Amino acid sequence: MKQINLTNSIFYVGVNDRHTDLFENHIELPNGVSYNSYLIVDEKVALIDPVEANFLEEYLFKVKSALQGRKVDYLVINHDEPDHSSTVAAVIREWPEVQVVGNAKTFGPLEAFYGPIGNKKVVAEGETLGLGQHTLQFFMVPMVHWPESMVAYEQTSGIVFSNDAFGGFGALNGGIFDDQVNLAFYEDDMRRYYANIVGKVAMQALKAIEKLGGLEIKMIAPSHGLVWRSNPAWVIGKYTQWSKHEGEEGVVIVYGSMHGNTARMAEIVARGAAEAGIKEVKVYDVAKTEVSFIMSDLWKYKGVILGACAHYANMFPDMTLLVHEINEFKPKNKCYGLFGGMSWSGGGVKTLAKYAEEGQWNLVADSVEVKGAPIREEDWDRLYNLGKAVAAAVKG
């Protein structure tokens, strides 16, 4: 089997998942996802971050092919989450003498998932593990995105094995490295991964970037997505931008509509934003687009306009999940406006306003609530001007 080399003695042994529909059982995966694992073959052999259990047979075949009869001495666990760790017990069965390497917070969750682990090696901040010509150094990055998260830096090659940091959704379509693919194809899935996995801990992500800033990083090898061997500064720059909530010029309009009237309002709002000079206007029906895609664009753009019809004196039910995610992940520095429809009673706009206040965004225009359909000139003007006002704030 032809090996995928990061260097002469460091190998990629990850797998692609093109079958799972939902990541963590709630985030759609139209382009799949990769589970990346790495093998360092030296005087001692280190296997870094195994893969999801459904791919065990393929995974062990790849590892054994690279080992050529050698055994695994160390199994490094940078992150306990089961999409990486669920083959730990199988690796231990295959190589019973293997030492499992983690930090002080690693083994509680790991043993809760898979039972007692007898041969443990606990490493601390900055500690090193010599393999021969290669040396791994460990740095704690707590809450990126679990408390036990750490990264392993190989000093000889300058490779950071970064677990979930700098990762992305999307199976790897033949190209493993950043210089083998069109990055524009992967960027949206990377940002969607960031917005829905890492975004909640943006401050911790920034701290992790600062901590690694003193290292000579020649390559970044995450647990999902592309390996960054030619331009690691590109992905570091993207993560820094997203972690600092530096939005781009654009407006995201998301609406929930029962009978189509609030949908008609969204079209008028969008027209106002476009005629005010915003070229990136994204319009989403919250009942048809899975929330992770909307969150990705909310993270990307500066302007947000939310619309919901009334539903039993509350708001359109599907909007509830979106506003929950917004307040859970807290994208910042947004200019926003609100609109919605009512019939015999209101509640949609009022409920939206309550959630929006928690986000501490910049409200740039009065909310617009329309009774019935937007058939009156006055209502049309208010909706159109709402789009214009948010656009002006974004451009300003």
| H or E element, residue 370 | strand 368-371
Place 153 in a pLDDT band, splitting at 50, 70 and 90: very high
Together in a domain, 263 and 221: no
The sign of the dihedral angle between the CA atoms of 237, 243, 246, 250 is positive
pTM value is 0.93
Place 269 in a pLDDT band, splitting at 50, 70 and 90: very high
Number of domains making up the chain: 2
Contact 37, 47 (CB under 8 A): yes
Together in a domain, 150 and 238: yes
pLDDT tens-place string over residues 202-242: 888 888 888 888 899 999 999 999 999 999 999 999 999 99
Predicted confidence at residue 209, as pLDDT, reads 84
Together in a domain, 94 and 204: yes
Q: Between the CA atoms of 203, 205, 211 and 215, what dihedral angle is there, to the nearest 10 degrees? A: -150
Domain boundary among 208, 223, 243: 243
pLDDT tens-place string over residues 87-135: 999 999 999 999 999 999 999 999 999 999 999 999 999 999 999 999 9
pLDDT of residue 19 exceeding 80, the answer is yes
CA distance to 263, 270, 274, 306, 377, per residue, from 255 (Å):
7, 11, 17, 6, 21
Together in a domain, 261 and 279: yes
Together in a domain, 170 and 303: no
Predicted confidence at residue 213, as pLDDT, reads 86
Together in a domain, 237 and 271: no
Together in a domain, 17 and 146: yes
Mean pLDDT across the stretch 127-147?
Answer: 95
For residue 197, which amino acid is it?
I
What is the residue range of 256's domain?
Answer: 252-395
Three-point CA angle 180, 181, 187, nearest 5°: 140
Q: Which of 230, 242, 141, 139 is nearest to 187 (CA)?
A: 242
Together in a domain, 122 and 231: yes
Together in a domain, 141 and 225: yes
Place 360 in a pLDDT band, splitting at 50, 70 and 90: confident
Together in a domain, 159 and 257: no
